[in-house]
Amino acid sequence: MCITCVKRLLELTGQQNRMCITCVKRLLELTGQQNRMCITCVKRLLELTGQQNRMCITCVKRLLELTGQQNRMCITCVKRLLELTGQQNRMCITCVKRLLELTGQQNRMCITCVKRLLELTGQQNRMCITCVKRLLELTGQQNRMCITCVKRLLELTGQQNRMCITCVKRLLELTGQQNRMCITCVKRLLELTGQQNRMCITCVKRLLELTGQQNRMCITCVKRLLELTGQQNRMCITCVKRLLELTGQQNRMCITCVKRLLELTGQQNRMCITCVKRLLELTGQQNRMCITCVKRLLELTGQQNRMCITCVKRLLELTGQQNRMCITCVKRLLELTGQQSRMCITCVKTSTGTDRTTE
C-alpha cells in the first residue's frame, strides 16, 4: 500500500487525527516502507496523525528509527525535524546535545555547525560562558581552540565587548592557553573584551599572571602593556615601582632603564630631586653613583643648568660623595650646574670645603 491508500484507510476508520506512533509503525509495516521512508513521508505521516506540531525529542528519535536515518542525518535534516516538531526556537542545550547524538555528530562538529545549532535553538545571542564551555565539549574542541575561534564564540554569545577579566581567564582555560599566551594574544584578548584602553595596573598584573609572564617581562613588554592600558603617559612613580616589581627588575635596573621608564611615564623632563632619589632607591644605586651618573640624572631631570648649591649638596648626599670630593670634582659639579662663572666668594668658600660644609 502507498501512502494515499493508507490515508484513505485512516479516513474510513475515522482514525486520521488520532493515531499514535505505534499505529504509524504498524501502517508502515503494512506498506513495506518501515525502513525506506524519506523525510517528506515522515512529515505526511505526522500530518495524518495530527502530531506535526507537538512532538517531543523522544518521538523524533522514534521517527528517525522508523526511517532508518537515526545515525546518518545531516544538520539540514535536523533542522527540518525541529520544524516538524515546532521546537526550532525553544530547544535547550540538553536537547541540542541529544540531537547531536541522534545525528552521530557529537564529537565532530565544527564551529560553523555549532553556530547553526545555536541559531536553531534561538540561543545565538544569549548564551553564557557555561553554555559556551558545554558547546565546546560537544564539539570536542575544548582544548584545541585558537584565538580566532574564541572570538567567534564570543560573537555567538554577544559577549565580545562586555567580558571581565574573570571571563577572560575562563576562556583561556577553555582554550588550554592559560600559561602559554604571548603579549600579542593578551592584546587581542583585551580587544575582544573592549578593555584595551581602560585597564588599571591591577588588571595588568592579573593578565601577566594569566600568561605566566609576571616575572620574566622585559622593559619593551612593559611599554607594550602600558600602551595597552592607555597609561603610557600618565603613570606616577608609585606605578613605576609596581611595574618594576611585576617584572622582577626593581633591584637590578641600570640608569639606561631608569631613563626608559622615565620616558614611558612622560616624566623625563619634569622630575624633582626627590623623585630622582626615589628612582635611585628603586634601582639600588643610591649609594654607588659616580659623577658621570649624577650628570646623566641631572640631564634626565632637565636640571643640569639650573641647580643651586642646596641641590648640589643633596646630590652629593645621594651619591655618598659629600665627604670625599676633591677640588676637581667640585669644579666638575660647578660646571654641571652652570655656576662656574657666577659664584660669589661665600659659595666658593663653601664648595671648596673651607668651612667643611661639603667635606
Express each pLDDT in 46-93 by its tens digit.
Answer: 666 665 555 555 666 666 666 665 555 555 566 666 666 565 555 555
| 255-264 helix and 237-246 helix, angle to the nearest 10 degrees | 120
Cα→Cα distances 26→30, 84, 280, 287, Å: 6, 21, 92, 98
In this predicted structure, what is the pLDDT of residue 354?
A: 43
Q: Write phi, then psi, for 181 (nearest 5 degrees).
A: -75, 140
Q: What is the mean pLDDT of residues 142-166?
A: 57
Unique residue bearing C-alpha cell 553554555: 131
Q: List CB contacts of 131: < 8 A, sequence separation 6 or more.
A: 93, 123, 157
The residue-averaged pLDDT of 286-303 equals 59
pTM of the model: 0.23
Q: Is the pLDDT of residue 24 over 60?
A: yes
Average pLDDT estimate for 157-163: 55
Please name which of 149, 148, 190 lies closest in space to residue 168, comparing C-alpha atoms: 190
Q: Is the pLDDT of residue 28 over 60?
A: yes
- Average pLDDT score over residue span 129-147: 58
Find out whether 6 and 26 touch, Cβ atoms under 8 Å: no
Instruction: Kindly tell me if the per-residue pLDDT of 299 is higher than 60.
Output: yes
Query: Predicted confidence band at 357 (pLDDT cuts at 50, 70, 90)?
Result: very low
Sorted by sequence, the CB contacts under 8 Å of residue 145 that are 6+ apart come out as: 136, 153, 174, 175, 176
**For residue 119, pLDDT beyond 60:** yes
Average pLDDT, the chain: 58
Nearest to 132 by CA among 80, 179, 168: 168
Burial call 219-255: b when 16+ CB within 10 Å, e when fewer = bebbbbbbebbebbeebebebbbbbbebbebbeebeb
State the pLDDT at residue 224.
Answer: 60
Res. 356 pLDDT band, cuts 50 70 90: very low
Confidence tier at 335 by pLDDT (50, 70, 90): low
What integer pLDDT is reported at residue 359 of this predicted model? 32
**pLDDT at residue 352 greater than cutoff 50:** no
Split at pLDDT 50, 70, 90, the class of 343 is very low
Q: Do 132 and 153 touch, CB atoms closer than 8 A?
A: yes
* Mean pLDDT, rounded, for 185-202: 57
Most confident of 4-8, 158-162, 190-194: 4-8
Q: Please report which confidence band the pLDDT of residue 355 belongs to, taking 50, 70 and 90 as the band edges.
A: very low
- Is the pLDDT at 251 greater than 50, yes or no? yes
Specify the pLDDT at position 2. 57
* pLDDT band, residue 280 (cuts 50/70/90): low
